Structure 1
Amino acid sequence: MHIGYITPEYPHPEVSHAAGIATSIKNLANSLVKQGVRVTVFVYHQSKDAVIEAEGVTLHLIKKQSFKFLTWYYYRKLVNRYVNTIVKQEQIHLLEAPDWTGITAFMQFKVPLVIRFHGSDAYFCKLEGRKQKFKNFVFEKLALQKAKAYIAPTSYAGEETAKIFGLKRNNIKTIHYGLDLDRFVNTHPEQFQPKTLLYIGTIIRKKGVLELAEVFNRLIDKDPNAQLLLIGGDSGDIKTGSTSTYALMQSLFSETAKSKVNYLGKIPYSEVQEHIKNAHVCTFPSFAETLGMVTIESMALQKPVVNTSLGWAQELIDDEVNGYLIYPKDTAAYAKKIITLFEDKALCLKLGQAARKKVELNFDIQKQVKKNIDYYQSLLL
């Protein structure tokens, strides 16, 4: 079997951008290769055209181009032609694409197309309670209508997307993202930097970072030794028009809290693990995710996680068993739970061990890759 992935991002030095979608695709692609499946990845909106071999996966970088008019249409057609050429040459059996902005709208393929719900613009707009551009909704719906089937990383993401676009739920298969657990090992979970709270993700309103600022103010009031480490790129803010959400966070921090915040910005993915291992507690107070890779990565490394209580997170964490689920706007309860963890090392280790077991059970890529292969094969019958 030969599977092709169409994506705007992938973790590789020659690729201009890589985030959660990229990580999940690479984890799956590498595991498919180990199972004897050929994998080709088409990465669009790149700075150059190139073909690269990476860990058994063939990457086709497709240069971003502009046209005199209707660039959104003609660039899609350019990508479509290129993908179809390689599909025919390399005998690719099935293609998969993300739902975000409906990249495959106006595209036609000779092989089945599966769309994975990494998170459409419509999905995030609904969760954030903001209005979506009509054009984006049309593109995403057109793309979904042309797909043969769909994969959702959580049942919640699948159900919400089905509601938004009027999809038949029996065409949606829930398959969680997976981790190569051999690469996520914490041999000394008892060793960490005390009172360090870690957040990883884009600094953007929908991730709950403004609420996190208030949570940290409360932490500092109770424990002046607390520290907050932030990792991730800054982003503009849709609501206020600010070019920097981190600047908005800074305006919310108390003077005492501000001196205890360390913002690293974007760092290489290879360095993130050490920061997770070093953290006392990891927190992800998001209002909009489909799953949240950093949550399961932190759990795999045996960290106590205080997470959002919203839909998708309930499929990752069993509250008070292998982590905590709290609504981000309840900043008092959020801070109280983190303080409890800061003051109880034994509880942290207990939750961390249970978190690792949860990931081994539900998010091991060796189990998830077989589910993906079985589903792909069912679509080729």
Structure 2
Amino acid sequence: MHIAYLTPEYPHERIGSSGGLGTSIKNLAEELIASKIEVSIIVYGKHMSDHFKENGINFYILKQKYYKVGGFYFYRKHINAYLSRLIKEKGIDLLEAPDWTGITAFMKFKVPLVIRFHGSDTYFCRIEGRPQKWKNRFFETNAIKRAQAFIAPTNFAGQKSADLFKMKVNDVKVIHYGLQLDKFENPHPDNYQEFNLLNIGTLIRKKGVFQLLQIFTKVLNQFPKASLTLIGGDAPDIATGSYSTWELMKASVSTEVLSRIDYVGKLPYSEVQERVKNAHLCVFPSLAETLGMVTIESMALKKVVVNTNIGWAQDIIEQGVDGFMHHPNDVNAFLASIKTLFENKDRMLKIGAAARRKVECDFNIHKIVATNINYYQQIKDNHG
């Protein structure tokens, strides 16, 4: 088979930075190549066009095009025409695309289209309880109607997406994201910076960053040596219209609390791993995810994650066994778990080891790739 992925992001120095969506595609693509499946990655919306092949993967970079009117529609038609030529010339058997803003709306292909629910704007707006732009809903709904199959990374994401787009839950196949575990090794989990909390992700309201500051403020009251490290890009704040969420965060805490926070911005992937290993605990009080790659990546490095308890996290963590889950607004519950782990190193290390075992069992890309291949083959056969 030849599988193509249409995506707005992919972690590569010639393409740009990436979040969990791009990372999940990279992990799967590299494992598909190892399984003798041909892979093409088409990245849209970039500042320049490019085409290259690396480690067996074909990369096609599409420059963002601008139009006087109707750009949301005409750029999609441009991508459609490009993909149709590529499908014919390269013998592509199946195309996968994300749900975000319905990039495949109004597109038609001669091969089956799979939509993977990485997290649509419809999904995030509903979970966060904020209004949605009509065009995003319109495009996402149209894209869903044109797809032949659907994948979600967690049961919660699949069920919620099916409900929002008026689909049958059974039409959504749940396949977890996977990790190449040989790239996640921490032989010395007992070597870390005491009382250091780590959060990884874009500074944006839906990631629970303001709840995180409330949690850290309470932690600092009980553990004066505590510190908080933030890794990720800054983003505008939808709720206030501010150009910078980080500026809002700084204004919401005291000078003393701010002095114990180290915001390092975006870091190379290898350096992020070292920061995870160095952390005492990882804290992710997110309000909206579909799975959360940083959670399973941290668990793979034997770190205890104090996580959100909203929906998707229940596919990942067993409370008190391989991590902790609380509602992001329950600041005292986060504090209690962090306090317990700070004060009991043996228990922390035991839970960290269990977290690694959980990832080995449920998120090992070597196992997950076979599920993807079988599902792709089923879709291809049904379409043929």
1:178 is aligned to 178
Query: What is the CA–CA distance in structure 2 between the aligned matches of 1:315 and 1:112, rounded to whole Å?
Result: 28
Off by >3 Å, runs of 4+ in structure 1: none
C-alpha distance in 1 between matches for 2:45 and 2:110 = 23
Q: Is 1:116 aligned to 2:104, yes or no?
A: no
Tell me which residue corresponds to 2:335: 335
* Maintained 8 Å contact 1:214/1:252: no
The equivalent of 1:61 in structure 2 is 61
Unaligned runs of 5+ in 2: none
- The aligned residue for residue 265 of structure 1 is 265
Which residue does 1:377 correspond to in 2?
A: 377
Distance 1:78 1:161 in 2: 27
1:312 paired with 2:315, answer: no
What's the CA shift for 1:242? 1.3
- Partner of residue 36, structure 1: 36
Q: Which amino acid aligns with 1:123?
A: Y
State how far apart, in whole Å, the 2-side matches of 1:205 and 1:160 are. Answer: 21
Matched to 2:365, the amino acid is I
Superposed displacement of residue 269, structure 1: 1.7
Which range moved further: 180-189 or 166-175?
166-175
1:255 deviates by 2.7
TM-superposed CA distance for 1:347, in Å, is 1.1
Q: Deviations 1:326-378 (Å, cap 9, x if unpaired)?
A: 11111111112112111111111001000000000000000110000000001
Aligned to 1:46: 46
Q: Is 1:102 aligned to 2:102, yes or no? A: yes
Does 263-272 or 149-158 show the bigger shift? 263-272
CA contact (8 A) 1:16 1:47 kept: no
Give the alignment's Cα RMSD to 1 decimal. 0.8
Q: Shift of residue 271 of structure 1?
A: 1.1
**TM-aligned CA deviation for residue 259 of structure 1:** 1.0
Alpha-carbon distance in structure 1 between the residues aligned to 2:79 and 2:17: 18
Question: Which amino acid counterpart does residue 74 of structure 1 have in structure 2?
Answer: F
1:9 is matched with 9
Give the match for residue 253 of structure 2.
253
- Structure 1 residues 135-284: aligned runs within 5 Å: 135-284=135-284
1:293 aligns with 2:293: yes
> Alpha-carbon deviation of 1:176?
0.1
CA deviations on 1:81-114 (whole Å, 9 max, x unpaired) are 1111111011000000000000000111010000
Tell me if structure 2 keeps the 8 A contact 1:220–1:256.
no
* Counterpart secondary structure, 2:251: helix
CA–CA separation in structure 1 for the residues paired with 2:197 and 2:17: 26
CA distance in 1, matches of 2:199, 2:233: 12
What's 1:77 paired with?
77
Query: Identity of aligned pairs, percent?
Result: 53
Does residue 91 (structure 1) correspond to residue 91 (structure 2)? The answer is: yes
Alpha carbons 2:306, 2:323 under 8 Å: kept: yes
Task: Return 5+ residue gaps in structure 1 as ranges.
Answer: none
Residue 16 of structure 1, CA deviation: 2.9
Q: 1:300 Cα deviation (Å)? A: 0.2
How much does 1:252 deviate? 2.1
| Distance in structure 2 (CA, Å) of the matches to 1:54 and 1:349 | 39
Give the C-alpha shift of residue 34 in structure 1: 0.1
In the alignment, which residue of structure 2 is the partner of 1:353?
Answer: 353
What is the alpha-carbon distance in structure 2 between the residues aligned to residue 111 and residue 226 of structure 1?
54
Map Cα deviations across residues 165-200 of structure 1 (whole Å, 9 max, x no partner).
101222210000000000001011110011100000
Show CA shifts across 1:37-70 (max 9, x none). 0000110001111111122111100111112221
TM-score (structure 2 length as normaliser): 0.98
Conserved? CA contact 2:163–2:169, under 8 Å: no
Question: Letter of the aligned partner of 1:119 in structure 2?
Answer: G
SS in 2 for 1:75: helix
Q: Is the 8 A contact 1:175 1:372 kept in 2?
A: yes
Kept after mapping to 1: 8 A contact 2:32/2:369: yes
Distance 1:313 1:379 in 2: 28
Counterpart residue identity of residue 288, structure 2: A
SS in 2 for 1:157: helix
3-state DSSP of counterpart to 2:264: strand
- CA distance in 2 between counterparts of 1:175 and 1:370 reads 10
Amino acid at match of 2:139: F
Amino acid at match of 2:348: C
Q: Deviations over 1:265-284 (max 9, x none)?
A: 11112211000000000011
**Distance apart, 1:256 and its partner CA:** 2.0
Q: TM-score, normalised by structure 1?
A: 0.99
Instruction: Give the Cα–Cα distance (whole angstroms) in 2 for the partners of residues 54 and 344 of structure 1.
Output: 46
**Amino acid aligned to 2:248:** L
Tell me how far 1:324 sits from its aligned partner.
0.2
Instruction: Report the count of equivalent residues.
Output: 381
1:283/1:306 contact within 8 Å kept? yes
Q: Is the 8 A contact 1:99 1:119 kept in 2?
A: yes
Distance, in Å, in 2 between the alignment partners of 1:186 and 1:111 is: 42
SS in 1 for 2:219: helix
Question: Whole-Å Cα distance in 2 between the matches of residues 214 and 117 of structure 1?
Answer: 31
Query: Tell me, what secondary structure is at the counterpart of 2:62?
Result: strand
